[in-house]
Amino acid sequence: MVARLRLCVGFLLAAGIVDACVSSVGLSAGAVVGGGVAGGVVSLTEPAPAGGFTVELSSSNPNAQVNAHATVPAGETSAAFRVSTLPVTHSTSATISASGGGCSAIAGVSVHPAVLAGLSLAASASHGNAAVMATAILTGPAPSGGAVVTLQSTSDAVSVPERITIPAGQSSTTFTLTTGLSLTSSSVAIIASYGGSVQSALLSVSPGI
């Protein structure tokens, strides 16, 4: 009976009597850091007919972009697509819509700004009167205008810039720390903050010229 039913449905689909339509749309993630990509899958109620089935896609927010169409291959019930997001300065949301065959479905995604993910030093120890390279790292690309990271040092033994800017579209930047003349060994914390996130790194400074 099941086999006959499947053959019957297949015949009706081929004859154009039973029409497939969109049943659901799903995303691989409900939240994405701006600049990242989420995978999507649109599903049909029936296998796509000969020639495939075209699904119209759209987004309610330009910060989350999709192609205008996705094609479900003939005989298949689903097709994959991508949601490409842009770097943002504040959290925002988007509704991804899929429609076809007189049916439609939606899924939501949140786009969050990048925050500071880490602060690394090229060396963990240095003598006085030296330069040490450091790198500030974001969780994603910096937004338009760049990401301004605030820096401070816990000791005058190490000087840091007051602020550095990670260029728009980049997820990291390097800068230079300078150590002063040190008469004793000390451990100095370098503190960086951006987007509500604070990261730190320790530099051991020993006497030297």
End-to-end CA distance of the chain: 90
Same domain membership, residue 133 and residue 199? yes
Same domain membership, residue 99 and residue 39? yes
What range defines the domain where residue 158 resides?
A: 116-206
Q: The CATH number of the domain where 13 resides is what?
A: 2.60.40.10
pLDDT of 13 > 70? The answer is no
Three-state SS sequence of 53-121: EEEEEEECCCCEECCCEEEECCCCCEEEEEEEECCCCCCEEEEEEEEECCEEEEEEEEEECCCEEEEEE
pLDDT tens digits, one per residue of 120-144:
999 999 998 999 999 999 999 999 9
Pick from 181, 180, 140, 146: which is nearest to 163 by CA? Answer: 146
pLDDT tens digits, one per residue of 44-72:
999 999 999 999 999 999 999 999 999 99
Residue-by-residue DSSP string for 129-153? S-EEEEEEEESS-B-TT-EEEEEEE
Distances (CA, A) of 5 to 2, 9, 10, 21: 5, 6, 8, 19
Q: Could you say which of 112, 136, 158 is where a domain stops?
A: 112
Q: How many domains does the chain have?
A: 2
What average pLDDT does range 32-45 have in this prediction? 98
Same domain membership, residue 178 and residue 128? yes
Q: Could you say which of 112, 135, 150 is where a domain stops?
A: 112
